[in-house]
Amino acid sequence: MIIIVHEGGHFVAAKLSGVKVNEFAIGMGPKLFSFTRGETKYSLRLLPIGGYCAMEGEDEESDSPRAFGNKPTWKRIIIVAAGAIMNIVLGLLMTLAMVLQQPYYASTTIADFPENSVTANYLKEGDRFESIDGYAVWNSRDIIFAMGTSKDYSPDIKVNRDGKTVDLGNVPLYTYEKDGKTVMAVDFVVERVDKSFLSVCGETIGQTVSTVRLVWSSLIGIITGKFGFNEMSGPVGIASAITTVASEGLQSGFLDAFNNILNVMMIITINLGIFNLLPIPALDGGRLLFLLIELVRRKPVPAKYEGLIHGVGFALLMVFMLAVTFNDIVRLVTGSGFG
């Protein structure tokens, strides 16, 4: 579904821009079956690792006035960006579906502490989180992400206390051991936000923006070394994660399992949207970079050079994907990857 929405974004934008679409494919590799409607062939392919929207004149020269390469640069930018944008829109709708089910929402202001709370020695009732380890806190999702990714479970916390910013320094978090691993748990209660039209809109937009920030921060963490190779997952790891969250949700009911899966899907679709916008050859972001260069230079980069760069980039991405997938399989079998 996520791939259909992504490629559908390219497809609709291309059609609206007057570009001929030769094939709309879900999956990669050998064709399982296909049919033609109008001028477009629709196909399902064997490998469930993506899809594509093949447009006339996208990767080759074409004299057709409906060719992608013969359209104004701004139209081509919209077509290329449309897939990632639709992924983020889908994430927004998934978030809305989860938010509408909740009777009220969590704020970022502390209301109470349970007995024997660790953080009660540092935080106070009425404190509003401002940042955790330098990560700005805008809503409750930010609190969980920032605390959960703190390497030593003793992050630097800043709060707004009585209208003033207070740096509490390194605050030890509540942790416990589970299956030989250290797990962090929140040991404070935040004030609730009552449900209304405005709070539903605010929570939906806020959680979506926070997920975008979460994905972006995670990508930066991979580049800087905060997160290692073993903390990445490909299709196999994602399937395993969905199975786990679904099983946990089923312990309390079908709806909880559905919402757990929906939450993972929401993160995946936003992740796909953001990752595709990165200026990496063979991705939408790489094509956007060449289009922006063309916009500035007022002439395109020679097709043979652009094609070569995208070809090399695609090959490297496939090698990387295979490595991540192999690590997922090793992790499933042995309990730990090789990274």
CATH-assigned architecture of domain 104-194 = Roll (2.30)
Alpha helices in 66-196 (DSSP H): 73-99, 140-148
Of the candidates 84, 87, 82, which has an alpha carbon nearest to the alpha carbon of residue 10? 82
CA distances from 165 to 155, 159, 285 (A): 16, 6, 38
Of the candidates 90, 52, 48, which has an alpha carbon nearest to the alpha carbon of residue 239? 48
The model's pTM is: 0.85
Which of 43-52, 167-176, 232-241 has the weakest average pLDDT? Answer: 232-241
pLDDT: which is higher, 286 or 232? 286
CA-CA distance, 182 to 154, in Å (whole number)? 13
Average of per-residue pLDDT across 273-297: 90
pLDDT at 173: 92
192 band by pLDDT with thresholds 50, 70 and 90: very high
pLDDT at 302: 84
The catalytic residue positions are 7
- What would the pLDDT profile of 72-99 be if each residue is shown by its tens digit? 999 999 999 999 999 999 999 999 999 9
pLDDT at 338: 63
DSSP secondary structure letter of residue 103:
S
Q: Tokens 């829109």 label which residue?
A: 89
339 band by pLDDT with thresholds 50, 70 and 90: low
- What would the pLDDT profile of 95-124 be if each residue is shown by its tens digit? 999 999 999 999 999 999 998 899 999 999
- What would the pLDDT profile of 303-313 be if each residue is shown by its tens digit? 788 888 888 98
φ/ψ of 317, rounded to 5, equals -65, -40
pLDDT at 231 over 80: no
- What would the pLDDT profile of 139-154 be if each residue is shown by its tens digit? 999 999 999 888 888 9
Percent of the chain whose pLDDT exceeds 70 = 99
Chain mean pLDDT for the chain: 90
CA-CA distance, 68 to 8, in Å (whole number)? 16
CA-CA distance, 112 to 104, in Å (whole number)? 17
Residue pair 173/184 in contact by the 8 Å Cβ criterion: yes
pLDDT at 33: 93
pLDDT at 88: 94
In the chain, CATH 2.30.42.10 covers 104-194
Q: Is 50 exposed, middle or buried (0-12, 13-18, 19+ CB in 10 A)?
A: middle
Which of 7-16, 116-125, 164-173, 329-338 has the weakest average pLDDT? Answer: 329-338
Average of per-residue pLDDT across 275-293: 90
Average of per-residue pLDDT across 128-142: 94
Q: Distance between terminal CA atoms of the chain?
A: 31
Structure tokens at 132: 């955790």
337 band by pLDDT with thresholds 50, 70 and 90: low
Helix, strand and coil in the chain, % to nearest 5: 50, 25, 25
Average of per-residue pLDDT across 183-208: 94
